[in-house]
């Protein structure tokens, strides 16, 4: 049995080891920085090879990413140590068991000397897992576990836990994993989420390392660590499937920009910086909705019926004339009949192509009909015999008609090129178009869809734009030709800068005209346009940069947090980003506040994967005190009488405070946060959505009855509001009846 060490001796021991780790870390940082400087300076002025430039640019991005990882490692580089029984380990002393000592940290560090060894295990490595799983009942071979606390590069405290046998006399074990967890859940909250890498619990670890290669649903009540588990799962998958996910990327979707800012620091702290963070409303590059919308509009726009309405809205542009349309083509009278146009439209729709692609079939069929009609007229045999024109003559007529402005105008009039924003704006701002597309739906639906012209797109419109892009096809995106030209100009400008840099590095000291003509500048070897084309062919942006800018990017893994808020149309948009269907879906259906949100995981996922998904549940509430959960559990019973609340494991001894209406919440917040160490949030009916997914030391809920009455999901909103608290809950105003 390991003997208990004096705390100061333990700290000194771990400080010496930390110094060794940081020495290796500093060496890696210096090596990476030297190579980065070399890449920037390594330019051959006599041979400015464009491919070499691209390779250097790619290495430059990789080195910067490595430096990011190494630099964030200083935030608590090492946090744990385990001594694992191992018959193959070196025997440290006579009569002592053979132990394999493993240090656990945010990244891995290896000593690549003569005796190659691992100095620090990445927390995601299989050999680090016993640190999280070991208990006195199931020690997993771990004899002792030590939690190490650091501030920067300084070890500030250690806590030991003996897992096998009885501790030696005088051993004072402040159980390592439990003490770390207690510190974390009692710590003051800030504006940023903390990593739980030091305190991952067994049920959380099982989900983080889940091997499912399909859709994994993580259901959990407030305070169970759903978001933290999702983020650590992202880091774990990037570690385990590095080669695959480095190419395809990982997308994390959150409910709002505040939430994304709140979680933004966690992944870099875990050594991962190449992840795309986005809200649902930002999934279409170039589309930036800013308009307000009613709850009724959110409900209707999020419903699955919108697929039918949008399909009809596109088809409304595929028209048939009421009467024959005369065409001015040479001196021979020609007209396009309704039957011709209808047959061309049928041919286009049978192609099963999106509208803009199907237009080619429409144009071909209609032009052929016109060519046949024209051939019949001008090639008619006066004696009643066969048509005098050959097949080649008809083909020539087809080619000629294809170039005729009148024919082109006819095609544009009855099968125009469309763009998604134009179609959606025209639909939502016209009662006539709404009636045409949604005439068989009730007045509630039609009224909810309408908005006044010029009021702008709203966040719910993002999924509709995405759907329309699919229905319309090429040219439907929010990026027009001008955007593409601008991008090309940017590439050319960047190429010019690169060539100028090359040219400036050439020798300018030689004034001999005899040699001056023989010196080639970078511009002599390759021009900016050619170099820009090379850049287009070899994209040097990082995976995350390329993925964020590409609406059709196929992500290797997608994580959806607060997934219960997604509407059916938003689910369609998200699954387009995950053709492999490898996703982690995190949420709690009892907290659904969106009018078109998810009440059942089966119903939400069935259109995409049927019943082929796995559900894991988090059952322990680490965040919310028992005093607060006593109120929250009563609300949960109203939402879902059959729901089983998560088990709260801590109490503060501070009962929920109830104050009368009219009490100034700002005064209460100031009292609670006096000293500036703790955070407080005032939650009203208007701000519930803003606090979703966040946590605060103190929460002040104002007029809970109004919160419930303000929305059909009012009880869910109130449940969300009260469960944001980690220390105290104050309720101002009348509470709704729970009878």
Angle at CA of residue 50, ends 46 and 51, nearest 5°: 120
Indicate if the pLDDT at residue 90 is higher than 90: no
User: Which residues fall within 8 angstroms of residue 137, CB to CB, at 6 or more apart?
Assistant: none
CB 700 within 8 A of CB 683: yes
Indicate if the pLDDT at residue 93 is higher than 60: no
User: Which residues fall within 8 angstroms of residue 31, CB to CB, at 6 or more apart?
Assistant: none
Give 340 or 516, the one with higher predicted confidence: 340
CB 138 within 8 A of CB 164: no
pLDDT at 529: 62
Q: How confident is the model at residue 153 (pLDDT cuts 50, 70, 90)?
A: confident
- Eight-class DSSP state of 402: H
Strands 557-560 and 583-587: parallel
pTM to 2 decimal places: 0.83
Beta-strand runs (E) in 227-338: 250-254, 275-279, 325-327, 334-336
Indicate if the pLDDT at residue 559 is higher than 90: yes
**pLDDT tens across 650-659, in order?**
899 999 999 9
Indicate if the pLDDT at residue 510 is higher than 80: no
Distance CA 566, CA 543 (A): 26
Indicate the angle between helix axes 405-414 and 355-378, nearest 10 degrees: 140
Distance CA 71, CA 51 (A): 30
Distance CA 642, CA 635 (A): 12
Average pLDDT in the 204-210 region? Answer: 95
For the chain, the average pLDDT equals 84
Average pLDDT in the 510-520 region? Answer: 40
Angle at CA of residue 192, ends 237 and 550, nearest 5°: 50
Q: How confident is the model at residue 541 (pLDDT cuts 50, 70, 90)?
A: confident
pLDDT at 92: 54
Distance CA 10, CA 355 (A): 71
**pLDDT tens across 290-299, in order?**
989 999 999 9
Output helix, strand, coil percentages for the chain, rounded to the nearest 5.
Answer: 45, 15, 40
pLDDT at 2: 36
Q: Is 670 exposed, middle or buried (0-12, 13-18, 19+ CB in 10 A)?
A: exposed
Give 544 or 509, the one with higher predicted confidence: 544
**pLDDT tens across 481-498, in order?**
334 434 555 555 555 655
CB 590 within 8 A of CB 598: no
User: Which residues fall within 8 angstroms of residue 331, CB to CB, at 6 or more apart?
Assistant: none
Q: Is 512 exposed, middle or buried (0-12, 13-18, 19+ CB in 10 A)?
A: exposed
Distance CA 478, CA 551 (A): 10
Average pLDDT in the 602-622 region? Answer: 95
Long-range contact pairs involving 258-265 (C-beta distance under 8 Å, separation at least 24): 258/690, 258/694, 259/561, 259/562, 259/692, 259/693, 259/694, 261/191, 261/192, 262/191, 262/192, 262/193, 262/693, 262/694, 263/193, 263/227, 263/231, 263/561, 264/192, 265/192, 265/193
Sign of the dihedral defined by the CA atoms of residues 650, 652, 654, 656, in that order: negative
**pLDDT tens across 584-593, in order?**
999 999 999 9
- CB atoms under 10 Å from CB of 457, counted, come to 22
Closest to 172 measured CA to CA, from 182, 183, 161: 161
**pLDDT tens across 687-727, in order?**
998 898 889 999 999 999 999 999 999 999 999 999 999 99
Closest to 289 measured CA to CA, from 466, 456, 483, 425: 456
Distance CA 296, CA 449 (A): 8
In 102-225, alpha helices (H): 130-133, 176-186, 202-208
pLDDT at 506: 45
pLDDT at 512: 44
Beta-strand runs (E) in 521-623: 557-560, 583-587, 613-618, 620-621
**pLDDT tens across 252-278, in order?**
999 988 888 888 878 877 767 779 999
Indicate if the pLDDT at residue 618 is higher than 90: yes
Residue with tokens 């929460």: 699
CB 703 within 8 A of CB 733: yes
Closest to 610 measured CA to CA, from 581, 579, 569: 581
Closest to 238 measured CA to CA, from 267, 277, 218: 267
């Amino acid at each position: 049995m390991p003997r208990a060490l004096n705390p100061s001796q333990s700290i000194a021991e771990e400080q010496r080891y930390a110094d060794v780790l940081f020495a290796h870390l500093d060496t890696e940082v210096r090596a990476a920085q030297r190579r980065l400087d070399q890449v920037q300076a390594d330019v051959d002025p006599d041979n400015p090879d464009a491919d070499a430039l691209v390779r250097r640019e790619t290495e430059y991005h990789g080195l910067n990413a490595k430096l990011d990882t190494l630099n964030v490692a200083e935030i608590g580089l090492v946090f744990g140590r385990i001594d694992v029984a191992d018959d193959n380990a070196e025997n440290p002393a006579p009569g002592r068991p053979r132990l394999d000592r493993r240090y656990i940290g945010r990244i891995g560090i290896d000593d690549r000397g003569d005796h190659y060894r691992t100095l620090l295990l990445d927390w995601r490595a299989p050999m680090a897992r016993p640190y999280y799983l070991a208990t006195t009942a199931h020690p997993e071979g771990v004899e002792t576990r030590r939690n190490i606390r650091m501030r920067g590069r300084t070890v500030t405290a250690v806590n030991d836990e003996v897992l096998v046998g009885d501790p030696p006399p005088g051993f004072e074990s402040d159980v390592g994993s439990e003490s770390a967890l207690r510190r974390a859940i009692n710590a003051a909250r800030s504006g940023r989420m903390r990593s739980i890498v030091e305190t991952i619990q067994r049920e959380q670890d099982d989900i983080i390392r889940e091997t499912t290669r399909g859709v994994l649903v993580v259901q959990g009540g407030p305070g169970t660590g759903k978001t933290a588990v999702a983020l650590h799962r992202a880091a774990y998958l990037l570690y385990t499937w590095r080669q695959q996910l480095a190419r395809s990327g990982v997308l994390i979707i959150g409910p709002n920009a505040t939430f994304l800012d709140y979680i933004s620091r966690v992944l870099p702290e875990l050594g991962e910086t190449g992840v795309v963070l986005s809200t649902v409303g930002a999934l279409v590059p170039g589309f930036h909705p800013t308009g307000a919308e009613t709850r009724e509009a959110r409900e209707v726009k999020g419903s699955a019926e919108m697929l039918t309405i949008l399909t009809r809205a596109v088809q409304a542009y595929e028209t048939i004339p009421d009467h024959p349309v005369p065409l001015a083509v040479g001196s021979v009278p020609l007209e396009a009949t309704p039957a011709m146009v209808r047959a061309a439209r049928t041919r286009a729709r049978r192609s099963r192509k999106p509208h803009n692609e199907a237009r080619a079939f429409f144009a071909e069929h209609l032009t052929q009909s016109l060519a046949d009609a024209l051939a019949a007229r001008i090639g008619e045999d006066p004696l009643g015999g066969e048509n005098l024109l050959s097949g080649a003559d008809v083909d020539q007529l087809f080619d000629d008609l294809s170039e005729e402005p009148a024919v082109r105008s006819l095609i544009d009039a009855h099968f125009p090129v469309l763009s998604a924003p134009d179609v959606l704006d025209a639909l939502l701002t016209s009662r006539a178009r709404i009636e045409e597309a949604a005439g068989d739906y009730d007045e509630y639906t039609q009224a909810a869809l309408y908005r006044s012209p010029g009021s702008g797109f709203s966040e719910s419109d993002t999924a509709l734009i995405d759907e329309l892009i699919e229905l319309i096809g090429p040219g439907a995106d929010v990026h027009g030709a001008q955007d593409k030209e601008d991008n090309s100009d940017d590439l050319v400008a960047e190429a010019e800068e690169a060539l100028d840099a090359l040219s400036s590095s050439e020798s300018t000291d030689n004034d001999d005209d005899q040699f001056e003509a023989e010196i080639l500048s970078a511009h002599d070897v390759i021009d900016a346009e050619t170099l820009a084309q090379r850049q287009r062919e070899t994209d040097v942006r990082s995976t995350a940069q390329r993925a964020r800018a590409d609406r059709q990017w196929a992500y290797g893994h997608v994580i959806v947090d607060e997934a219960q808020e997604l509407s059916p149309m938003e689910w369609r948009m998200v699954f387009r980003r995950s053709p492999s269907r490898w996703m982690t879906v995190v949420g709690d259906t009892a907290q659904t506040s969106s009018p078109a949100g998810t009440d059942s995981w089966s119903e939400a996922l069935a259109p995409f994967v049927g019943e082929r998904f796995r559900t894991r549940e988090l059952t322990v509430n680490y965040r919310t005190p028992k005093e607060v959960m006593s109120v929250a559990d009563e609300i949960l019973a109203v939402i879902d009488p059959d729901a089983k609340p998560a088990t709260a494991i801590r109490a503060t001894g501070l009962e929920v405070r109830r104050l009368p209406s009219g009490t100034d919440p700002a005064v209460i917040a100031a009292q609670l946060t006096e000293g500036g160490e703790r955070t407080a949030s005032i939650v009203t009916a208007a701000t519930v959505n803003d606090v979703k997914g966040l946590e605060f030391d103190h929460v002040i809920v104002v007029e809970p009855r109004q919160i419930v009455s303000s929305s059909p999901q009012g009880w869910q909103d109130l449940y969300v509001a009260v469960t944001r608290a980690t220390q105290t809950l104050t309720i101002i105003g009348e509470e709704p009846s729970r009878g």
